[in-house]
Structure formats: structure tokens, C-alpha cells
């Protein structure tokens, strides 16, 4: 039996990431599979981003979070009623950020900076981890993760590759999303 320093899991991000990878069984071959699927997934990213924003626009409980000034967005913030228009520049800006996130997931590199980025993406959605601008309740993070995971599965299923490579890709992305899920959820602890 291995000893895990539980207090360290909470304060040392690299140690936590290593533990997540080891426990879930996310390793070099998964990273290799993910990087290899970049050319196949690249074409699917715009559709995936579109589907996410259509989904987020479908509920007031999710769309309301886009009614605030967005960090890093320097353009005019035009709001249509209480919320930004689906086609507004600010939403275009947000879509670009999500595009960059997905592209980074499939292009790597999987180094310490990537771990910090995955952790930052979780932290920035909650004031519990110091985000000043937004407070997205955990339920919304979870439902969107579920939606993204399912969309990934459906996309990978369409790849014209050997069945065993398809299974490897499904497993690699599944594991990665569970790791991201932990790096979201950890910031919501009281």
C-alpha cells in the first residue's frame, strides 16, 4: 500500500496531479493518443464550441454569467436586455477562449504549465478560489463537463481510425476530463 500525504494533496498542485494521473491511469500513452488526435479533432473544435455556447445560451442559469464585464475583454460591452447577445463581440471573445482551451488540450505540451492552466480554468469560475468577477455554481460546471464529455465521445466515434485506436482515444479523453473535473471541483470546497 502506498502512503499518500493527504495534506500535501491540498496544497501541492503537482503532487495532486501526479496522484490523479497515477490513480486514474493517465500516462504517456494517453498523452500520445491525445496529441495524435489533434488533426482529427481540429476540424471538430468550432462545432464543439458552437454547441457549448448554444447550450449555455439555452438557460438563464448559465447565460446570466455572461452579463458581466469579461476579464481580458477590451471591446465595448453591449448588452441586449439583461444579457449579451449570442452574436455579440464579447461572446465571440469567450468562444475564442474556449477554442484555445480545447486546442491546448489536444496540442499540449503536457508539462507543469498545462497542469497550472487546467487548475486555473477551474479556479477562475469561483470566488472560493479567488475569482473576483464570476461565481458559477458547481452544478453548472458539472452539467457542462457532462455535456462536453458526451460531445467528445460522439466526435471521437466519428473518427475514421481503427476500433482499438478509437477505444484508446475515448479512454484517454475520458481520463483527462475526469482530471479536469477534479481541478474544478477542488476549488469549490468551503
Quick one: which of 133, 135, 154, 167 contacts ligand HEM (CB under 6 A)? Answer: 133
Specify which residues 84 forms β-bridges with.
79
- What DSSP line would sit under 91-125, residue for residue? HHHHHHHHHHHHHHHHH---SHHHHHHHHHHHHTT
Give the x-and-dash track for 91-110 against ligand HEM (CB under 6 A): ------xx--x---------
Give the x-and-dash track for 8-37 against ligand HEM (CB under 6 A): ------------------------------
- Asked if 40 and 161 touch (Cβ cutoff 8 Å), the reply is yes
Instruction: Kindly indicate which of the ranges 28-36, 81-89, 107-115, 139-147 contains the residues binding ligand HEM, using the contact rule CB under 6 A.
Output: 139-147
Give the x-and-dash track for 37-76 against ligand HEM (CB under 6 A): -------------------x-----x--xx---xxx----
Closest CB to ligand HEM among residues 1, 69 = 69
Residues 6+ apart with CB under 8 A from 149: 173, 174, 177
How far apart (Å, rounded) are the C-alpha atoms in residues 147 and 101? 16
Instruction: Kindly indicate which of the ranges 37-45, 79-87, 108-116, 117-125 contains the residues binding ligand HEM, using the contact rule CB under 6 A.
Output: 117-125
CB of 15 to ligand HEM, least distance (A): 23
How many Cβ atoms sit within 10 Å of the Cβ of residue 17?
22
Q: What is the CA radius of gyration of the chain?
A: 17
The cell numbers describing 38, all together, are 489533434
Closest CB to ligand HEM among residues 112, 146 = 146
Count of residues engaged in binding ligand HEM, rule: CB under 6 A: 21
CB of 138 to ligand HEM, least distance (A): 9
Give kind and range of the element (H or E) at residue 80: strand 79-80
Amino acid at each position: 500500500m502506498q502512503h499518500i500525504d493527504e495534506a500535501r494533496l491540498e496544497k501541492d498542485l503537482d503532487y495532486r496531479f501526479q496522484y490523479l494521473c497515477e490513480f486514474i491511469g493517465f500516462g504517456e500513452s494517453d498523452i500520445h493518443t491525445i496529441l495524435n488526435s489533434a488533426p482529427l479533432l481540429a476540424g471538430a473544435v468550432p462545432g464543439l464550441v458552437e454547441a457549448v455556447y448554444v447550450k449555455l445560451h439555452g438557460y438563464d442559469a448559465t447565460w446570466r454569467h455572461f452579463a458581466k464585464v469579461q476579464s481580458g475583454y477590451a471591446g465595448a460591452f453591449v448588452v441586449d436586455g439583461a444579457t449579451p447577445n449570442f452574436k455579440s463581440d464579447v461572446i465571440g471573445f469567450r468562444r475564442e477562449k474556449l477554442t484555445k482551451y480545447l486546442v491546448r488540450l489536444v496540442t499540449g505540451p503536457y508539462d507543469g504549465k498545462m497542469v497550472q492552466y487546467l487548475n486555473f480554468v477551474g479556479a477562475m469560475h469561483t470566488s472560493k478560489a479567488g475569482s473576483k468577477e464570476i461565481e458559477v455554481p458547481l452544478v453548472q460546471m458539472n452539467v457542462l463537463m457532462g455535456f462536453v464529455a458526451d460531445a467528445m465521445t460522439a466526435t471521437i466515434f466519428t473518427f475514421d481510425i481503427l476500433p482499438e485506436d478509437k477505444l484508446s482515444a475515448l479512454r484517454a479523453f475520458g481520463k483527462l476530463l475526469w482530471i479536469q473535473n477534479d481541478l474544478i471541483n477542488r476549488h469549490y470546497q468551503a
